[in-house]
Amino acid sequence: MLKVENLHVSVGDKEILKGVDLEVKPGEFHVIMGPNGSGKSTLSLTIAGHPKYRVTGGRILFGGEEIHELGPDERARKGILLAFQVPPEVEGVKIIEFLQQVLVELKGIDPAKAYDVIVEKAKELWFKEEDLHRYVNVGFSGGERKRLELLQALLIEPKLLILDEPDSGVDVDSLSIISRKIEELHKNGTAILLITHYGRILEHLDRDVLTVHVMKDGRIVKTGSGELVDRIDREGFAKIFEEVGA
């Protein structure tokens, strides 16, 4: 479904991704780990189509089609959703109105029906109806922001959900509900690409289904199964880098 081939990406004059290869098939669950600055977030933002990230080489294919020329909205319409590491505040835009518009646009649901669906789903992520009349992310805690990202994923039901550090800046309770909802989406057929620095969230997930990649300096240097998480936990990244000569 998602195929990244020898992807090179620059921001300004600086090359950040130096040839990334990655394939995510429908319904799979991939995890990308790696130290700060290894290019994890760049990869996720590039797949989602952030204009600042310039593809200088290689290809991104989604459903067999090259997408790196498409705008972020067109990629979203094809079924890609990025849950942001730090979702921005959008002053004056009420969550409910925003989500209604998204559902109307993406799924053709009528606004009144969308309203009910949103309120219902929001409860599962601990948002009360009145919370939905707050402005998008304005004054939200880390946990609230991440839960709102997950709410959007549950409503949109993307083919591919990219989660950029869903475990950073999140309280323990939020982390547990977020993990459950990620698993729920995965069970319902959404492919997951999860980026994590510390792997905190992996303690809450079933490791048997995971494919784990380790990134360093803009490349994926090792790929393995869920057990790789434990090794990184025990031995740290350095040992693995040493082993693969990276």
* Contacting residues toward another protein, per CB under 8 A: 48-52, 71-73, 75-77, 81-82, 84, 87-93, 98, 101-102, 105-106, 135, 152, 156
Shortest separation between residue 135's beta carbon and another protein, angstroms? 7
Burial status of residue 50 (CB atoms within 10 A of its CB: 0-12, 13-18, 19 or more): middle
103-142 residues labelled b (16+ CB within 10 A) or e (exposed): beebeebeeeebbebbeebbeebebeeebbebbbbeebee
Q: Which residue lies nearer to another protein by CB, 35 or 72?
A: 72
Shortest separation between residue 237's beta carbon and another protein, angstroms? 29
Q: Which residue lies nearer to another protein by CB, 45 or 202?
A: 45
Shortest separation between residue 73's beta carbon and another protein, angstroms? 4
215, 33 Cβ separation under 8 angstroms: yes
Any bridge partners for residue 4, and if so which? 22, 60
At residue 44, the 3 state secondary structure works out as: helix
Shortest separation between residue 88's beta carbon and another protein, angstroms? 5
Shortest separation between residue 11's beta carbon and another protein, angstroms? 12
Q: Which residue lies nearer to another protein by CB, 50 or 219?
A: 50
Q: Which residue lies nearer to another protein by CB, 136 or 205?
A: 136
Q: Which residue lies nearer to another protein by CB, 76 or 214?
A: 76
Q: How many CB atoms lie within 10 A of CB 194?
A: 26
